[in-house]
Amino acid sequence: MKFDDVLCPFCGCLCDDITVTAEGGRVTGVDNTCLLGTSKFLGDNRLKNPIMRTDDGWKDVTYDEAIASTLDALLEADRPLLYGWSGTHGEAQCIGVHMAELLGAVIDNTSSVCHGPSILAIQEVGHPGCTLGQVKNRADVIIYWGCNPTEAHPRHMSRYTTYADGYFLDNAFRDRTVIVVDVRRTETAELADVFVEIKPGGDYAVLSALRAMVRGRDEMIPDSIAGVSKEQLRHIVEICKNAKFCAVFFGVGLTMTRGKYKNVRNAIELVDELSRHTKATITPMRGHFNVYGSNEVNTWMSGYPYAIDFCRGIAFYNPGETTAVDILARKECDAALIVASDPAAHLPSKCIRHLANIPVVQIDPYPNMTTAFCNLQIPVAVSGIDAEGTAYRMDGVPIRLRKVLETEYPTDTMLLGRIYEAMMEVRGR
Amino acid sequence: MSELLVKNAYVIDPVNGINGEVMDIAIRDQWIVEEVGSGAMVIDAKGQLTLPGGIDSHTHICGTKVNFGRYMSPEDMRAGRMPRRGSMHATSGYSVPTTYGNTYRYSTMGYTTLLEGAMAPLEARHTHEEFTHTPLQDTMANTLFDGNWAIMEAVRDGDMRRVAAITAWTLSAVKGFAIKLTNPGGTEAWGWGEDVTCIHDQIPHFEVTPAEIITAMITANEMLNLPHSVHLHCNNLGKPGNYTCTLDTFDLARDLNKNRQTLYATHVQFHSYGGSSWKDICSKSEEITRSLNSKPHIVFDMGQVLFGRTTTMTADGPMEFNLYRLHHNKWSNHDVELETGAGIIPVLYRRSNLVNSIMWAIGLELALLTDDPWQCCLSTDSPNGAPFVRYPEIIAMLMSRRYREEEMSSVHPGTEHRVPLPAIDRELDWEEIAIMTRAAQAKALGLIDIGKGHLAPGAEADIAIYPIQIRDVDPSVDYMKVKEAFATTAYTIKRGRVVARQGDCVVDGINSTIWVDPQVPPEYDISNDPEFVKKFDRYYTVRMRNYPVQDVYLERQVCLRPEVSL
Ligand code: SF4
Ligand SMILES: [Zn+2]
C-alpha cells in the first residue's frame, strides 16, 4: 500500500510530504525523505515484547506484568522522574503530565540538554519568530548560527530556506543570501554566501559587536573579535540592514557552548534591534520531531515548558534545581520512567551512573543505549509509523502524525493511559 | 436519564423577558424542560440570583499565542498556583492561566460558554487540543482571515463567490466558528515589518485596502448565513486619534441581517482615543457611542482595562511591537504564513499613569453611554485589558456611581479633564448586567437557537446561581457585595449537572466545541479549484491533506450547517 503526504517522525523539520510504501506489516519504500528519515522508516530491529532484567539476564514478560511492575517502581519511589517525551505524540505527553501531578514527580524532557537555554532566554526577553512558511516566501537573508542543517536537519534548506520556492522571490536560490556562523567550516558553511568563522566561545562577543554596529556604534568595535574581522562584521550588518526579511536560525552550537542562555538572549536582542530597521525573525532548530510539542503540552497543562517538579503538589519550575540533570546529578531521584528518548546517549555521565543504580523503566520500541541498564523495557508502536497523534514542528505548527502500518503494539497513549488508570486506583481522589 | 429541579430561583432571563421572578427550573439530562418527576434531585436556590450560564464572546484562553504567553512568563505562572485537589488538576498562572486554571476559574464565576478570540487556521489543531483540556465550558474559535492571501486575491478580483467559498472551506477545515479580522491587511504588511494606518491604505503587493476586505467579508458572512457576524478588531489599535478610523470603519457596515448585528466590533475601548499624541490623548467615547447608538446593526465588546499586571496578546503583530517600544519589557511575535500574525507582551497598567487612567475610564464610558445593553458585551479582551477573573469589579462599577467616584479619586489627577466619566450618572441594573454578560452574547453569536443564553424549556441547562438576594441589596451602595457575589457562584450547572459549588469544581467534565460547516454546493468547493490548490501546494509549508483538523480533536461537538446562498 502507498501513502502520500506522510509525516517524517525524525527531526524538527517534520516534513509532511513523504510517500511511504508498506507491505506485509513493514515499510518497504520511502520517497522524499533524507537519509535520516529513510533509516527511521526502514528501521527494523524492534523489541518483540516487554523484557525484564533478572539476576541471570533478560526475561520476557507480558504487558500486564510490565504495567504492574512499572506501577510498583513509581509508587514506591519518593522522588520519581518522568523523562524523555520528545519522540512521542502529544496525547501521550498529556498523560505524562497528569501522571507527574498524581505522583508528585519531576517531569522533564530533552530540552534540558538541547534548547533549555533558549527557553530561559525567551523567558527573559521574548521571542520574535514566525512560521517557516514566512521565511520560505519572504526571506532574502538567512543566517544559520551554531547549527549544521546539512547534517542534522537535511531538508531544512530545501523546504524552508535557501532552495525553497518563495512567493516574493523570483529566483529563490539566487535572490537569497545565506550566512553561516560557526566555529568550524561545516558542510552547511560550504553552501553559504558568507561564512563567519568564530573562535570557540566567541559567540557572545560577536553578537554584542553586531548589536552595537546595528545601533550605529561602529567606533566601539575593535579590529577583530573572536577571530572575526571588523570588516566582515560590517559587511554582515550591511546585508542584514538592507534585507527585506532576515531570518536567523540557531542550534546547540549557540545554546550549549560558553555563555549558553546568554548567547541566545544576545541573539534575540540582535533580532529585536534589527526589527527597528527591517523585518527580522529568529527560530531555534529543534532536534527531535516532537520535542517542541512536549514543551507546548507541558506549558498548557502545567504552566512551564520543561523541568517541572510536582513534589509539593503545585507545579514548581526552577531549571538548575528541577531538571532531570539536576535531580540525577544530586542523586535525589530514586526511580525513573523514560519515554521515547535515549538518555544514555545524551545525559552527562554523572547522571547516567546514577540512573544505572536506581529502578528504570523504559518505554521505547527499540533497544538503545539506555537498554543497557534499564530494569524493564516496554515496546510500543512507533509514533508516526504505526501510531497516530499530534506533533509540533520546530516553529510551533501542529500536524497530525499519520499511521502507515497496522500493529499489535500498544501506542504510548494506550500504555501510559493504562498505567495512569491503575495509578488512579491506588492514589486517585 | 437524570433529573434535577432548581427550586426558589430568583430568575433574570432577558431573552424570555423574565426580570426577577421566583420560580423553579426543571432539568432533564442536559435540557431545561417543563417539569420533572418527584424523584428528581433538588437544589434549593433560596431566592438567590439565578441567571443563564455566563458567555464570554471574546477571550483568549487556548491556542498558539496564549500558550506562548505562558511559555515566556514563568513569573505569571507562579502567580496562580494551586495543587491538585479533588477532581481539580493543579493550575498555574494569573493573567494567562493554564487550561485547567481557565476552566475552573470561569466555571466558579458561572461561565459555561467561551469564544476564543483568535485562531490562526494553520495552527487550529493547537487551539482544539487546548479546548479538550478546558472541560467545563463549551468552546468555539474565531478564525483569522485578516491576511489571507487567497481571500485578498479574490477581493482584488471582485469575486465575491470565491471569497465566500474560500471562507467556507477554511472554517470547515479548521473547525472554526466565525470570521475574525484582526487589523485587516496590517498583519500581512507586518510580514515586511510594516503596518496600515487605517481602512483606506493599500496593502503592499495585494492591491486591496482594509475597507475592501472588511466589506467583502461582511458580504461573504451573510452569503454563508453564518450564526455570528464578522468579528472585527479594527485597524490602528491603541493609537491617539484612532477614533476617526473606528468611526469610518463602523460606517462600512450596513444592516443586512434581521436576527442579529452585521458587525461585531471587539475591544472598542482600545479604538476610542482622541488627541494627536500620548501628550494630548483623550476619550472619544461620546463620539463612538453616538455612532453605535445610531447603528443597532453593530454590537461591540468593551475591552475594559483594569489596573494591575497582565499580558497582552493579539494577532495584531505590529501593534504589539509598538506597545513593546513603549514598555521595553519583553516581546514575542509569531507571524503565520499566508494568513495572519501574533504578538505578545506583558504589561502593567498603573493608576499613576495618565494614559492608563484614560483607558480605564473609556471602557466604562462605552458601556454607560450605549443606550441599548444588547449592543454592549462586557469584556476585558481577557487578558489584554485585565484577566477575566476581574469581571466582577467591572460589574460593580457599572452598577455604582459611588464606586466609580471612589476609583476615580485614586487615578491620575489629569484624567478628569480628558474623559466624560465623572459626569455620567447612569447606574446599570441587574437585568442590564444579565444582558451584558450572557444574553447579548448568545444573541450576537447566534446561539439562542441552539439553547444558549436563556432558561426557557428547550434551552441547554447551563445555569449560574449567585449567592446574593438582590431584593436586599442596593448595588449603588453595596457594590462590594455585588463584586463578591459575581466572583463565586453558589452553584454552576453545566449541561444539567452541578459542575462547581462555592468555588470548587466537582466534576471532570468534557467540553463541547461548536463549529460551522457551511453547506456549499460542490461547484463552489474551493478544494477542487486548481488555482487554489496550486498556490496552496506551492506556498504553504504544510500539505493540503494535512491541513484540516481531524474529527478526533473534538471529543464532543455541535456542528452548525447553515444553508448558503451563493
Ligand atoms: S529533514 Fe528531518 S523531518 Fe525531513 S525527512 Fe529528514 S529527518 Fe525527516
Ligand atoms: Zn482579543
CATH code (residue B283): 3.20.20.140
Contact criterion met (CB below 8 Å) for A79 and A332:
yes
The predicted structure's pLDDT at residue A172: 86
In a domain, residue B547? The reply is: no
B539 in A contact zone (CB under 8 Å): yes
Q: Residue A5 is nearest to which of B123, B205, B543, comparing CB atoms?
A: B543
Q: What is the DSSP letter of B203?
A: P
In chain A, the residue whose alpha carbon lies closest to the alpha carbon of B128 is A398
Q: What is the DSSP letter of A365?
A: S
How many angstroms separate the alpha carbon of residue B192 from the centre of ligand 1? Answer: 29
Query: What CA–CA distance (Å, rounded) separates B72 from A308?
Result: 15
The predicted structure's pLDDT at residue A115: 95
What letter represents residue A417's amino acid?
Answer: G
Is residue B514 left, alpha or beta, with left meaning phi > 0 and alpha meaning psi from -120 to 50? beta
Q: Which three cell numbers stand for residue B491?
A: 452553584
pLDDT of A325 higher than 90: yes
What letter represents residue A202's amino acid?
Answer: G
What letter represents residue B103's amino acid?
Answer: T
Mutate to test the interface with B, among A132, A277, A300 (most CBs of B within 10 A): A300
Angle between helices B160-174 and B149-156 (to 10 degrees): 170
Best residue for ligand 1 mutational test, from A5, A11, A285 (most atoms within 8 Å of Cβ): A11
Ligand 1 within 6 A of A14 CB? yes
pLDDT of B271 higher than 90: yes
Query: What CA–CA distance (Å, rounded) separates B318 from A157?
Result: 28
Q: Which atom of ligand 1 is nearest to the CA of A154?
A: 1
Selection from A119, A96, A337 nearest residue B77 by Cα: A119
Ligand 1 within 6 A of A37 CB? yes
Angle between helices B354-369 and B285-293 (to 10 degrees): 20
Map B282-333 to HEC letters.
EECHHHHHHHHHCCCCEEEECCCCCCEEEEEEECCHHHHHHHHHHHCCCCEE
Selection from B318, B62, B336, B323 nearest residue B183 by Cα: B318
Q: Classify domain A116-284 at the CATH class level.
A: alpha beta
Q: Which atom of ligand 1 is nearest to the CA of A11?
A: 2
In chain B, the residue whose alpha carbon lies closest to the alpha carbon of A397 is B123
Ligand 1 within 6 A of A149 CB? no
Q: Which atom of ligand 1 is nearest to the CA of A32?
A: 5
Query: What CA–CA distance (Å, rounded) separates A205 from A187?
Result: 24
Edge to edge, the sheet with strand A2-6 lists A2-6, A18-23, A26-31
Under the banding of pLDDT at 50, 70 and 90, the label for residue B328 is confident
* 8 Å CB contact of A315 and B81: yes
Q: Which three cell numbers stand for residue A164?
A: 525553497
In chain A, the residue whose alpha carbon lies closest to the alpha carbon of B64 is A396
* 8 Å CB contact of A123 and B74: yes
Ligand nearest to the CA of B382: 2
Q: Which three cell numbers stand for residue B53?
A: 450560564
Q: Which residues of B touch A4 (CB under 8 A)?
A: 545
Taking residues B98-103, report their average pLDDT: 98
pLDDT of B475 higher than 70: yes
Q: Taking the model in full, what pTM does it have?
A: 0.98
Q: Which three cell numbers stand for residue A7?
A: 509525516
Q: Which three cell numbers stand for residue A352?
A: 547516567
Query: What CA–CA distance (Å, rounded) separates B82 from B467?
Result: 24
Query: What CA–CA distance (Å, rounded) separates B74 from A315?
Result: 11
Query: What CA–CA distance (Å, rounded) separates B294 from B289?
Result: 8
Q: Residue A314 is nearest to which of B90, B99, B130, comparing CB atoms?
A: B90
Per-position DSSP letters for A372-399, written without gaps between them: GT-SEEE--PPBTTTB-EEEE-TTS-EE
The full length of chain A comes to 429
The predicted structure's pLDDT at residue B401: 98
The predicted structure's pLDDT at residue B184: 98
Contact criterion met (CB below 8 Å) for A427 and A103:
yes
Ligand 1 within 6 A of A237 CB? no
Match domain A47-113+289-427 to its CATH number in 3.30.70.1060, 3.40.50.740, 1.20.1250.20, 3.40.50.300: 3.40.50.740
Q: β-strand B343-349 against B332-335: which pairing, if any? A: antiparallel
* 8 Å CB contact of A396 and B64: yes
The predicted structure's pLDDT at residue B463: 98
Query: What CA–CA distance (Å, rounded) separates B317 from B333?
Result: 6
pLDDT of A428 higher than 90: no
Backbone angles phi, psi at B52, to 5 degrees: -60, 155
Q: Residue A300 is nearest to which of B90, B130, B191, comparing CB atoms?
A: B130
The predicted structure's pLDDT at residue A429: 57
Mutate to test the interface with A, among B66, B313, B333 (most CBs of A within 10 A): B333
Best residue for ligand 1 mutational test, from A13, A42, A159, A289 (most atoms within 8 Å of Cβ): A13
* 8 Å CB contact of B546 and A125: no
The predicted structure's pLDDT at residue A43: 87
Domain of B79, in residue numbers:
51-505
Q: Which atom of ligand 1 is nearest to the CA of A14?
A: 3
What is the pLDDT of chain A when averaged over all its residues?
A: 97
Query: What CA–CA distance (Å, rounded) separates B25 from B457?
Result: 9
Q: β-strand A335-339 against A360-363: which pairing, if any? A: parallel
pLDDT digits (tens, 9 = 90+) for B349-366: 999 999 999 999 999 999
What is the pLDDT of chain B when averaged over all its residues?
A: 97
Q: Which residues of B touch A304 (CB under 8 A)?
A: 70, 74, 77, 92
Taking residues B241-250, report their average pLDDT: 98
Q: Residue B122 is nearest to which of A101, A272, A397, comparing CB atoms?
A: A397
pLDDT of B217 higher than 90: yes
Query: What CA–CA distance (Å, rounded) separates A93 from A341?
Result: 13
Q: Which atom of ligand 1 is nearest to the CA of A153?
A: 1
pLDDT of A372 higher than 90: yes
Q: Which residues of B touch A7 (CB under 8 A)?
A: 546
In a domain, residue B542? The reply is: no
Query: What CA–CA distance (Å, rounded) separates A80 from B13?
Result: 52
Radius of gyration of chain B (CA): 22
Query: What CA–CA distance (Å, rounded) separates A376 from A50?
Result: 7
Q: Which three cell numbers stand for residue B558?
A: 455541535
Residue B42: CA count within 13 A, CB half-sphere: 8
In a domain, residue B18? The reply is: no
pLDDT digits (tens, 9 = 90+) for A259-293: 999 999 999 999 999 999 999 999 999 999 999 99
Q: β-strand B138-144 against B31-33: which pairing, if any? A: unpaired
Q: How close B117 gets to chain A, by Cα (Å)?
A: 17
Residues whose CB is less than 8 angstroms from the CB of residue B39 and which lie 6 or more positions away in sequence, other chains included = B3
Query: What CA–CA distance (Å, rounded) separates A81 from A98?
Result: 13
In a domain, residue B516? The reply is: no
Ligand 1 within 6 A of A155 CB? yes
Taking residues B210-239, report their average pLDDT: 98
Query: What CA–CA distance (Å, rounded) separates B252 from B397?
Result: 33
Q: Which three cell numbers stand for residue B262?
A: 452585521
Selection from A188, A189, A169 nearest residue A243 by Cα: A169
pLDDT of B269 higher than 90: yes
Given the cut 0.90, state whether the ipTM is greater than it: yes
pLDDT digits (tens, 9 = 90+) for A234-250: 999 999 999 999 999 99
Query: What CA–CA distance (Å, rounded) separates A77 from A358?
Result: 10
Ligand 1 within 6 A of A32 CB? no
- Residue reference for cell 523484557: A51
The predicted structure's pLDDT at residue B476: 97
In a domain, residue B41? The reply is: no
The predicted structure's pLDDT at residue B566: 87
Query: What CA–CA distance (Å, rounded) separates A319 from B112?
Result: 37
How many angstroms separate the alpha carbon of residue A8 from the centre of ligand 1? Answer: 6
* 8 Å CB contact of B334 and A314: no
Taking residues B362-383, report their average pLDDT: 98
* 8 Å CB contact of B93 and A303: yes
In chain A, the residue whose alpha carbon lies closest to the alpha carbon of B88 is A429
pLDDT digits (tens, 9 = 90+) for A59-94: 999 999 999 999 999 999 999 999 999 999 999 999
B99 in A contact zone (CB under 8 Å): yes
Q: What is the DSSP letter of B210?
A: H
pLDDT of A138 higher than 60: yes
* Burial class for A366, CB neighbours closer than 10 Å (0-12, 13-18, 19+): middle
Contact criterion met (CB below 8 Å) for B76 and B311:
yes
* Terminal C-alpha separation, chain A: 47
The predicted structure's pLDDT at residue A241: 97
What letter represents residue A374's amino acid?
Answer: C
CB atoms near residue B314 (< 10 Å)? 27
The predicted structure's pLDDT at residue B42: 97
For the CA atoms of A39, A44, A48, A50, the dihedral, rounded to the nearest 10 degrees, stands at -20
In chain A, the residue whose alpha carbon lies closest to the alpha carbon of B507 is A429
Radius of gyration of chain A (CA): 23
Q: What is the DSSP letter of A249?
A: E
Q: Which atom of ligand 1 is nearest to the CA of A7?
A: 3
What letter represents residue A348's amino acid?
Answer: P
In a domain, residue B491? The reply is: yes
CB atoms near residue A288 (< 10 Å)? 25
- A13-51: string of b/e by CB count within 10 Å (b at 16+)? bbbbbbebebeeeebeebebbbebbbebbeeeebbeebb
Contact criterion met (CB below 8 Å) for B477 and B447:
no
In a domain, residue B562? The reply is: no
Residue pairs spanning A and B at CB distance below 8 A: 181
Q: Residue A300 is nearest to which of B86, B98, B193, comparing CB atoms?
A: B98
Selection from B207, B217, B115 nearest residue B166 by Cα: B217
* Residue B464 β-bridge partners: B51, B492
Q: Which residues of A touch B87 (CB under 8 A)?
A: 429
Taking residues B506-530, report their average pLDDT: 96
pLDDT of B1 higher than 90: no
Helix (H, G, I), strand (E, B) or coil at B38: coil
* Residue A362 β-bridge partners: A338, A377
**What is the distance of C-alpha A366 from the center of its chain?**
19
Ligand 1 within 6 A of A209 CB? no
pLDDT of A31 higher than 60: yes
Extract the runs of DSSP E, i.e. beta strands, from A259-407.
Answer: 279-284, 308-309, 316-317, 335-339, 360-363, 376-378, 389-392, 398-401
Contact criterion met (CB below 8 Å) for B255 and B296:
yes
* 8 Å CB contact of B331 and A5: no
Taking residues A357-364, report their average pLDDT: 98
The full length of chain B comes to 566
Query: What CA–CA distance (Å, rounded) separates B24 from B41?
Result: 13
Ligand 1 within 6 A of A36 CB? yes
In a domain, residue B528? The reply is: no
Number of domains in chain B: 1
Contact criterion met (CB below 8 Å) for A267 and A282:
yes
Query: What CA–CA distance (Å, rounded) separates B499 from B278?
Result: 46
The predicted structure's pLDDT at residue B25: 98
pLDDT of B212 higher than 70: yes
Helix (H, G, I), strand (E, B) or coil at B499: strand
Per-position DSSP letters for B400-434, written without gaps between them: -HHHHHHHHTTS-GGGGGT-SGGG------HHHHH
pLDDT digits (tens, 9 = 90+) for A108-121: 999 988 999 999 99
Selection from A423, A410, A335 nearest residue A380 by Cα: A410
pLDDT digits (tens, 9 = 90+) for B144-200: 999 999 999 999 999 999 999 999 999 999 999 999 999 999 999 999 999 999 999
